[in-house]
Amino acid sequence: MAEAAREKKLPVDDKIHTWPHLVRMEFLVTLFVLVALTLWALTVDAPLEDPANPTRTPNPSKAPWYFLGLQEMLVYFDPWNAGVVLPSLIIVGLMVIPYIDINPKGNGYYCFKDRKWEILTFFLGFHILWITMIMIGTFFRGPGWNLFWPWQKWDPHKVVALTNVDLPYLVGFRDYWWSAAFSLVMIGIYFVVTIVLFYLFVLKVKGKAFLERWGMVRFSITAVLITLMLSLPTKMALRLLFNVKYILVTPWINV
Amino acid sequence: MSLLDQIKKDIVESHVWKSIFRHGYEDTPRNRVMMVTSNVFLHLHPAKVRRHAVRMRFTWCMGGLTFLMFLVTVVTGIYLMFYYRPVAEYAYADMKYLDNDMPFGMLMRNMHRWAAHAMIVFVWLHMFRVFLTGSYKPPREFNWVVGVLLLVLTLLLSFTGYLLPWDQLAIWAVTVGSNMARATPLLGYEGPFADFVGANPIYDARAFLFGGGEIGPHTLLRFYILHCIFIPFVASVLMAVHFWRIRRDGFSGPSL
């Protein structure tokens, strides 16, 4: 209490010497972590399976665990999207965070109240999407990339009927050009609706003055990134609820 | 003065001693600063830091621990390099030799692998913490960008190392992970619009990564060099930038 009062009186000098305060902390944490790591390494052996054999493909073939979120996305998107475009967008999206977040509050301290939507967005992207997809890929996928409970025995002969159809077919289109036109319109509607909703949402929670300060460029980048991020749960919902395989089918790309 | 004190005085005041240690060890404010500024390793830190930045509940220690895990993998990795040949005929046998016949071979390999996994978890938690404290806000925006690059390099370091044991787990995990590259739009032979560019199985993004159309001995050598030289080199340069900028800007904290 007395110290708090003293700190309040002398706000300019809240610095302490790196030696010993910070160095001592680093030393102790280093010791603790190295001991823990050594114990871990003594008790659990790193895996080493049979020699590499390019002619014998294991089922399932799983990527390293930190990429299983991307492999799990392959269920919902084609490889060019799930494996290349979306990961690149994740990296770009992370990089632009400091430039699109112009909220001056919460710089250098924990606070939820003033940065509620920023933190919730990060939570959605990192914890809900990225970590959950890794969990599903790691613990719930077996042979044929079929779903299994972690305690369930993997049955390599499990057959899951592939009843998925493309969205235009589901709605009733049979002609290629009408299907493609319908698909493009649907994708256009998805983008427009999401971006407009995002605009109204920002207007409601942050106000008009903020939007003007934020600017067109920052808003557009954020809106497009959020729309693309939400395309994963959207596609997942379409697949799981309506067995939709693709939304757009062309000879070059499928979405 | 006792004999012991005399000997100590002779040593501490000798030409050699003073050439190595430039200041005493008494707990004075000057020595506390000198401790940091006259030591190349501790000089990563500023001489003084703000009180809150030292607390574990603020930093979670995650950035420092990520760096510690990097150092552990460097040290254990050098040990492993003495006994490992990145040649398809030898690589797996060398792993067996490391595990069963090398003194501390298994322990070094275990520590290398688990430290690599821990490094990934720590770097994610570090990013999460930096986000929660808003530490990427001005003037530290660019350091966040450098941090994202380091995050990607951490994943690539781990991924290239995954192939080196040359066992079933290694080649198939890397096959699955790398198959993405052949689907790259324009640049991968199975990707959209590959025909316009003329990408084919032995001349596309994945072939560039593998050093050939299929995963094979050439891939092993390629990943070995990426894993042991190229990515650690790039990561070290970026780490220097990352740490330097924290050193210059100071730890983030509420304004006074």
CB atoms within 10 A of CB B162: 21
**Hey, are the CB atoms on B49 and A22 less than 8 Å from each other?**
yes
Please name the residues between 57 and 116 in chain A that touch chain B, using a CB distance below 8 Å: 57-58, 61-64, 66-67, 70-71, 78-80, 82-85, 87, 91, 94-95, 97-99, 101, 103-111, 115
Domain count, chain A: 2
CB B223 within 8 A of CB B91: no
Whether A180 maps to a domain, the answer reads yes
Whether A86 maps to a domain, the answer reads yes
Q: Are residues A67 and A138 in the same domain?
A: yes
Closest Cβ–Cβ partner in B35, B167, B176 for A62: B176
Whether A183 maps to a domain, the answer reads yes
**Hey, are the CB atoms on A84 and B188 less than 8 Å from each other?**
yes
**Hey, are the CB atoms on A51 and B92 less than 8 Å from each other?**
yes
| pLDDT given for residue A235 in this prediction | 96
Closest Cβ–Cβ partner in B50, B165, B188 for A14: B50
CB of A119 less than 8 A from some CB of B: yes
CA A160 to chain centre: 27
Q: Give A-chain residues touching B199 at CB under 8 angstroms.
A: none
CB B235 within 8 A of CB B70: yes
**Hey, are the CB atoms on B137 and A42 less than 8 Å from each other?**
no
Q: Are residues A156 and A166 in the same domain?
A: no
For residue B118, what are its two tokens?
Answer: 């821990």
| pLDDT given for residue A5 in this prediction | 47
Closest-CA distance of chain A to residue B15, Å: 26
CB of A42 less than 8 A from some CB of B: yes
**Hey, are the CB atoms on A48 and B96 less than 8 Å from each other?**
yes
Q: Are residues A98 and A188 in the same domain?
A: no
Q: Are residues A153 and A207 in the same domain?
A: no
Closest-CA distance of chain B to residue A240, Å: 24
Q: Give B-chain residues touching A62 at CB under 8 angstroms.
A: 173, 176
Closest Cβ–Cβ partner in A15, A34, A41 for B48: A15
CB of A128 less than 8 A from some CB of B: no
Q: Are residues A170 and A223 in the same domain?
A: yes
Whether A42 maps to a domain, the answer reads no
List of chain A residues with pLDDT < 70:
1-12
What gap in Å lies between CA A187 and CA A249, rounded to an integer? 12
Whether A206 maps to a domain, the answer reads yes
Beta strand B48-50 pairing with A15-17: antiparallel
Q: Are residues A126 and A168 in the same domain?
A: no
Non-local (6+) Cβ contacts of B38 within 8 A are: B22, B23
What gap in Å lies between CA A33 and CA A44, rounded to an integer? 16
| pLDDT given for residue A9 in this prediction | 52
Which of A160, A191, A215 is the C-terminal boundary of a domain?
A160
Whether A38 maps to a domain, the answer reads no
Size of interface A-B (CB pairs under 8 A): 234
Whether A34 maps to a domain, the answer reads no
**Candidates B57, B111, B168, B238, partner chain A, best to mutate (most A CBs within 10 A):** B168
CA distances (Å), B5 to each of B2, B8, B11, B12, B13, in order?
A: 5, 5, 10, 10, 12
Closest-CA distance of chain B to residue A100, Å: 10
Q: Are residues A125 and A155 in the same domain?
A: yes
List of chain B residues with pLDDT < 50:
none
Closest Cβ–Cβ partner in A21, A30, A94 for B148: A94
CB of A166 less than 8 A from some CB of B: no
Q: Are residues A192 and A155 in the same domain?
A: no
**Hey, are the CB atoms on A45 and B106 less than 8 Å from each other?**
yes
Q: Are residues A153 and A178 in the same domain?
A: no
Domain that holds residue A210: 161-255
**Hey, are the CB atoms on B32 and A97 less than 8 Å from each other?**
no
CATH no., domain B54-249: 1.20.810.10
CA distances (Å), B210 to each of A139, A250, B205, in order?
A: 29, 30, 9
Q: Are residues A144 and A188 in the same domain?
A: no
**Hey, are the CB atoms on B185 and A19 less than 8 Å from each other?**
no
Whether A17 maps to a domain, the answer reads no
Question: Which ranges constitute the DSSP H helices of chain B?
Answer: 3-12, 15-20, 29-37, 56-59, 62-81, 88-100, 105-132, 141-163, 168-179, 194-197, 205-210, 217-225, 231-249
Q: Are residues A122 and A167 in the same domain?
A: no
Q: Give B-chain residues touching A58 at CB under 8 angstroms.
A: 168, 172
Q: Are residues A71 and A135 in the same domain?
A: yes
